[in-house]
Structure 1
Amino acid sequence: MKEVIPCQFGKSDADMNQLKKMFYIAIAVSIAAQFYLNFFVDGFIITFSVILLPLLLYKNQNLNPILTCIITGIASPLFRTFIIFLGIKDFKEAFSLVSPDIAFYFTYGIVFYYFYTKYKNKNLTRFALAVLISDFLSNMVEISFRTQVVGLEGNIIKGLFIIALVRSSIVVILVIVFRRYESFLAREEHEARYRRLMLLTSIFESEAYFMNKNMKNIEDIMKKTFKAYRLSTEKDVPKEFQDIILDLSKDVHEIKKDYIRVIKGLEEVFSYKFNIEKMSIKDMVNILAINTKEYLKQENLNVEFKYRIKSDVSVKNHYYLMSIFRNLINNGIEACKEGFNPIVSLIVEEDDKEVKIYVTDNGIGIKEDHIDYIFNPGFSTKFNKETGDINRGIGLTLVKDLVNEYFNGTIEVKSILGSGTTFIVTINKNNL
């Protein structure tokens, strides 16, 4: 039984795409051929198409220049014949004026192929030489057809060479310009990708920072809950309450393990380990700025965050100082987010002994009789009348505890109702 080999009709998608490109080139060259100057003999023109053709061949080096020029050598003369026919109303005369163009394009494709396309080591010098020779020889063939080799004087040959030299020089200059422009675009794209990568890395660093900060908080909570459990077993505490405390300790322990897995996974992706004993205030605020701006963008809040740092003190307990920054800034955002042109600013200054932190918002301000209570646990003016939700008022209490206990510093507040609020934190440099 004979094996039946199926016949394949048509062309592959790649071949069809190449054929389409050849026809597009033919159309472009046919249109460009309508811009010309007459030289030497009747019907012989110097056209813009001979500048466009090598540029298109250079741009599409996967195309066969012979086949491309054959298609162009049919399409362009036919189009030009039709244009001339509209003027003189004599098709035979029109075609006789244009038909030598066919020899030009056929010759151009063959010469360009053998002087450039078939070479493996292509460079700009080889391309320039190929364009010059292709242009000159093609014009020689075309004008020979037009003059029947009679009257082909030295001046005409010299003129054709000069024309070919000028056109090839224009082509090479345009290729250099295009290459420089493409290089510029590639460099711009590379720089844009680099900026995006740097931003992504910065965002990750800020998130990793806060995740590690939260790890310390989780560890503290776990220690406190377990300590509470041990104390409950030593005291006369109901067994049910002891079990709840133990369950809390277990749950926090599980959360801690999951957190560790997440952090390790992210660090493997970024090949980055965020474990710093000390951090400068400038670096801390840069991380905070990225994180705050991302938060404002995600929450679609039209709040402007400004900061100015005039201190480069290194901080050992940077996680705690970051909590101070973050809570005060979040408090400022909450206070001004509903207002006109809301702004929250952070200023850090230092002198010989102290570092001063100013967090200012242009929000609703604080009533004078409330100022003495804002650091009390549970005190809050943020009540939602529609939902009944209330902010539990822990943020400022935490800030005051951290300032007093960990840094032995002071915090004061200045506020004008309806104009805004400024928190001022003062910490001795030695305590940082």
Structure 2
Amino acid sequence: MFEQMSNKMKRIKPVFIIAIGVALASQININFFLPGFIVTLSIVILPVFLYFYKQFNPIEILFATGIISPIYRGMFLYFGTNNLHITIGIIGADVLFYFSYGILFYLLYWKKEKKGLTDLFFSAFLCDFFSNIIEISIMLRFRGYSYIMFQDLAIIAIVRAIITVCIILLLKYYKSLLIKEEHEERYRKLILMTSSMKSEIYFMNKNNSDIEGVMKKAYLLYKTISEQKYPTELKNLSLDIAKDVHEIKKDYISVIKGLEEMVGKKTDTTEADTVKMNIKDIVNIIKIDVLEYIKINKFNVYLEFKLEDNFNVVEHFYIVCILRNLIYNSIEAMEDIKNGHVKILIKKSEYDCIFVVTDNGKGIKEEDIEFIFNPGFSTKFNTQTGDICRGIGLAHVKGIINDVFVGTIEVQSTLGKGTEFTIKIKEDNMEGVSV
């Protein structure tokens, strides 16, 4: 019983909200023909409500509106004229207008199986025109008609119907823009998330080879100890180590497979993505992401992308990962700099695609440059906690450039002035052209 009442209230609530909205809009009006007969904004927005709330019977909406709106208007009329008889006469005609509008709209538009904006236009025009005739006829007591009156009512109805359709078209266009923007945002986040996951899978596969090597060494140690006269405890310990490494490898492989299923492609095979992505689109995705990062962290950094040439990229997820890593590193290197500047230049040179990421950050010490691409190396640490960054960003970058694209990366840096990374990848490798 309570559930039925709740469902009923959910249905009634929108009807009364529409009715109240129309009642408020009716206060924007002008007098026309004779005292008490007004042309209001409410008859412009009423068909808009009826169009977007197709699930509600227009008779229900208009009958609710025909009670709420005239009562609301009648209160102002009575306080203005202090004449109950005149007030009742005017709001009575108002009630008939809304009731007749609802019945006509139901018959002309709502009952149709197939209907569009053209049907809505003619329905809104006819409902407006004939309902106004009914209202003014009551107020004139069915006498005193003129051709000019019908002409003006027809013009008013046409104008209001045109405005109604224009409002609906604008709302639909605005809605489509919001949907498009939402889809683009979701697509951008999907690209960024997938690029991060694929780069992590790549690195995990490389680590998996190292784990395989450790496991072989562990079994070799167990075999060597077994053949020699070492204590049994040492023999068992070496066997346990070999078993533990094997279990770690199994778990590691399970994690990799799970991630590979999520991104929809195994990264440890020679299979390549066949879907190419334009570098211009890649740049747009990265730019939005980095600008948000700068804004959230309140960095004083100016980001500049210079795209001299355009080309397609097959392994676009990896390019996103590479550029994001380098740009983020550059931004972090300018944390205490007042006017940071990161420039990303993308161009072609003969058969190469070239990416240059330059910053005016604090630079890298000359003795550190040869180690920056080593896994685990990092000069960054949290001054509050003392935690050192894991230092696999640049190792990621170089590994992907070398293994996936068969390209090169070089770095030039001057302490206190800035750093420049230059990546060169053959155009055929970038676009996935078989040679």
Matching residue's letter, 1:18: R
Q: d(CA) in 1 for partners of 2:270 and 2:16?
A: 67
Map 1:152-171 to 2 at 5 A.
Answer: 152-171=145-164
Which of 64, 74, 77 is residue 81 of structure 1 equivalent to? 74
Cα contact 2:410–2:422 (8 A) shared by 1: yes
Asked if the contact 2:226–2:235 (Cα under 8 Å) also holds between the matched residues in 1, the reply is: yes
Contact map agreement 2:363 2:413 (CA 8 A) in 1: no
Which of 34, 37, 41 is residue 41 of structure 1 equivalent to?
Answer: 34
Q: Map of 1:17-416 to 2, 5 A cutoff?
A: 17-233=10-226, 239-277=232-270
Per the TM alignment, residue 173 of structure 1 is displaced from its structure 2 partner at its CA by: 1.3
Please list the CA deviations of residues 135-192 of structure 1 after superposition, one character each: whole Å capped at 9, or x if unmatched.
1110111111111221222222222112111111111111111111111111211222
Structure 2 contact 94–135 (Cα < 8 Å) conserved: yes
Is the 2:89–2:139 Cα contact (8 Å) retained in structure 1? no
1:56 partner letter: F
1:255 is displaced (CA, Å) by: 0.6
CA RMSD across the alignment: 5.7
Letter in 1 for 2:76: I
Kindly tell me: are residues 246 and 384 of structure 1, through their superposed partners in 2, closer, same or farther at Cα, counting changes over 3 Å?
farther
1-side partners of 2:300 and 2:223: how far apart? 47
Q: Which amino acid aligns with 2:55?
A: N
In the alignment, the residues of structure 2 paired with residue 417 and residue 381 of structure 1 have an alpha-carbon distance, to the nearest angstrom, of: 13
- Retained in 1: the 8 A contact 2:125–2:157? yes
Distance 2:304 2:231 in 1: 52
Alpha-carbon spacing, 1:349–1:66, altered in 2? closer, same or farther (3 Å)? closer
Distance 1:112 1:371, change over 3 A: closer
Equivalenced residues, count: 398
Structure of greater Rg: 1
Residues 69 and 196 (structure 1), Cα distance of their counterparts in 2 relative to 1, 3 Å cut: same
Deviation of residue 193 (structure 1)? 1.6
Q: Distance in 2 between matches of 1:190 and 1:39?
A: 48
Partner of 1:321: none
The superposition leaves residues 20-68 of structure 1 with CA deviations (integer Å, 9 ceiling, x where unpaired) of: 2222222211121122122223321111111111111112122221121
- One-letter identity of the residue aligned with 1:184: L
State the shift of 1:114 in Å: 0.9
Shift of 1:112: 0.4
The change in CA–CA distance for 1:387 and 1:263 in structure 2 (over 3 A counts) is closer
Q: Give the aligned residue type for 1:140.
A: I
Query: 2:412, 2:420 within 8 Å by CA — same for their partners in 1?
Result: yes
Name stretches of at least 5 consecutive residues in structure 1 with no aligned partner.
1-7, 313-324, 397-410, 427-432
1:303–1:344 contact (8 Å) kept in structure 2: no
Measure the CA separation in 1 of the matches of 2:142 and 2:372.
104
Q: C-alpha distance in 2, partners of 1:373/1:29?
A: 72
Give the distance between the partners of 1:379 and 1:35, measured in 2 at CA.
70
TM-score of the two chains, using structure 1 as the length reference: 0.68
Deviations 1:88-128 (A, max 9, x none): 22222233233211110010000001111122222212211
Query: Structure 2: which amino acid aligns with 1:244?
Result: L
Whole-Å Cα distance in 2 between the matches of residues 374 and 55 of structure 1?
A: 63
TM-score (norm: length of structure 2): 0.68
Shift in CA distance, 278/417, structure 1 to aligned 2, threshold 3 Å: farther
